[in-house]
Amino acid sequence: MSYPLLRVHLDVLRSNMNTIVKKASACGLSVWGVTKGLSAPFEVASVLEGTGVSALADSRVKNIRRLKEAGIKKPFVLIRVPMLSELEDVLEYADVTVVSDVCTMRALSDLCEKRRKGIGVIVMTDMGDLREGFWPDEAAAVAAEIKKLSPLFRVKGVGVNFGCACGVLPSRESMDRFVRFGEEMESVLGYRFDVFSGGGTTRSLISLDSGLFPPRVNNIRIGEGYLHGSDMSSGVTIPWLRQDTMELEAELIEVRIKPTVPIGEVGFDAFGNAPVFEDRGNRKRGILAVGRQDVIIEGLTPLDEGVSVITASSDHCLVDIEDCPVDYKVGDVLRFHPHYGAMLSLSTSPYVTKVFE
């Protein structure tokens, strides 16, 4: 094995997504399976394709292109509003894209005409998280603009996002405003939308039974839920999902007794921080061959008893192993659960081996 290594349990991801789809559909919600969290590996996309999700979704058109070329057949939604410079690829590879800018919509519509090819769009609205989306009071004006565009540019529905940029949580009140936004657009355009996409994992899975969603909201887009079985925006694990979805494995390259307080004058570390240390005497510590180049160290939870992370530099992670029941030696491997951000960084690091099993 080549370490560091991210081990992903596909059977757990499958079972999580199956559970989510079942619970969501009982509440009238279809689910889009979001692949971006692990950088859209083919293995995960195929697992999702085999569940009841109605589409796959990713934030990068490059990921969508790679997965389609690798043989994924499910419709794909681009869930980051597209760059003007990538519209050719968006039209070629995405079945549906989110949009939040009139100029981009016009350019995409022109391209649809030029290529004689259609695309579905989800018009995003901002209900307070201040990332992408039109303001709620722009609904009629946006719809009027869309009326002028190509019939190949088809509005499939509207979408809203919470909990990403500013951590704003959805409420029944903001969901009702979201529905009004969509219905106002519908009345200008003169047809009914298929999709009212009410958000990602943020508060949606933990609120399935609590009336968060008005009847017209009929879709959620889920990444964190099946990847971690948690909802970080509310700081909870979801009791009906599994959290043992993946682990980071890293190898010890030094094990030695060292003082807990550094020797000499302390300036700033390699990342501009001035670290503080509590004197706990001499303790056994290890160096793992993994660092900030590979992972957001603060997002790692040790899975082996008695291990705690002290600090890390670009390529070294220091761990306290004094209280471990196991007598660790150089060459031994320690395991960690990565949180969402740590998973993102691991999945994009070319130095980390990925194993899907």
Can you tell me the distance from the alpha carbon of 113 to that of 62, in angstroms, rounded to the nearest whole number?
23
> Does 221 sit near ligand PLP (CB under 6 A)?
yes
Q: Which of residues 44, 79, 108, 139 is near ligand PLP by CB under 6 A?
A: 79
In the complex, what is the shortest distance from the CB of residue 95 to ligand PLP, in angstroms, rounded to a whole number?
A: 16
In the complex, what is the shortest distance from the CB of residue 308 to ligand PLP, in angstroms, rounded to a whole number?
A: 28
In the complex, what is the shortest distance from the CB of residue 27 to ligand PLP, in angstroms, rounded to a whole number?
A: 16
The structure tokens 């757990």 sit at 12
Residue 130: name the closest of 152, 163, 108, 99 by CA: 163
DSSP 168: P
Q: Which of residues 35, 201, 218, 245 is near ligand PLP by CB under 6 A?
A: 201
> Does 246 sit near ligand PLP (CB under 6 A)?
no
133: left (phi over 0), alpha (psi -120 to 50) or beta: left
H-only helix segments in the chain: 10-26, 42-49, 61-69, 87-93, 102-115, 139-147, 172-189, 224-228, 340-348
What is the footprint of ligand PLP within residues 160-179 (CB under 6 A)?
161
> Among positive and negative, which fits the CA dihedral 111, 115, 118, 119?
negative
In the complex, what is the shortest distance from the CB of residue 303 to ligand PLP, in angstroms, rounded to a whole number?
A: 22
Q: Which of residues 34, 38, 143, 160 is near ligand PLP by CB under 6 A?
A: 34
Can you tell me the distance from the alpha carbon of 300 to that of 292, in angstroms, rounded to the nearest whole number?
12
In the complex, what is the shortest distance from the CB of residue 250 to ligand PLP, in angstroms, rounded to a whole number?
A: 25
Give residue 269's identity as a one-letter amino acid code: D
Rank residues 47 and 252 by Cβ distance to ligand PLP and give the closer one.
47
Catalytic one among 36, 258, 284, 354?
Answer: 36
Tokens of 163: 């909990």
> Does 225 sit near ligand PLP (CB under 6 A)?
yes
Task: Count CA within 13 A, CB hemisphere, residue 117.
Answer: 15
How big is the CA angle at 263 (ends 257 and 265), to the nearest 5 degrees? 160
Taking the CB of residue 53, how many other CB atoms lie within 10 A of it?
24
Rank residues 222 and 307 by Cβ distance to ligand PLP and give the closer one.
222
Rank residues 133 and 286 by Cβ distance to ligand PLP and give the closer one.
133
Rank residues 39 and 59 by Cβ distance to ligand PLP and give the closer one.
59
How big is the CA angle at 112 (ends 109 and 114), to the nearest 5 degrees? 110
Stretch that binds ligand PLP, among 66-74, 82-90, 174-182, 200-208 (CB under 6 A): 200-208
> Does 223 sit near ligand PLP (CB under 6 A)?
yes
> Does 224 sit near ligand PLP (CB under 6 A)?
yes
List C-alpha distances in Å: 26 to 23, 51, 121, 199. Answer: 5, 15, 26, 17
Rank residues 37 and 82 by Cβ distance to ligand PLP and give the closer one.
37
In the complex, what is the shortest distance from the CB of residue 278 to ligand PLP, in angstroms, rounded to a whole number?
A: 35
Position with the least CB separation from ligand PLP: 223
Burial class (CB in 10 A: 0-12, 13-18, 19+), 44: buried
> Does 198 sit near ligand PLP (CB under 6 A)?
no
Instruction: Lay out the site mask for ligand PLP across 35-54 (x = CB under 6 A, - = otherwise).
Output: -xx-----------------
148 tagged catalytic: no
In the complex, what is the shortest distance from the CB of residue 332 to ligand PLP, in angstroms, rounded to a whole number?
A: 33
Give residue 103's identity as a one-letter amino acid code: C
What is the footprint of ligand PLP within residues 250-309 (CB under 6 A)?
none
Tokens of 169: 């949580």
Stretch that binds ligand PLP, among 3-11, 195-203, 312-320, 342-350 (CB under 6 A): 195-203
Can you tell me the distance from the alpha carbon of 256 to that of 295, in angstroms, rounded to the nearest whole number?
24
Backbone φ and ψ for 220, nearest 5 degrees, come out as -135, 155
What is the footprint of ligand PLP within residues 56-75 (CB under 6 A)?
59
Write out the residues near ligand PLP by the rule CB under 6 A: 34, 36-37, 59, 79, 161, 200-202, 221-225
Catalytic residues: 36
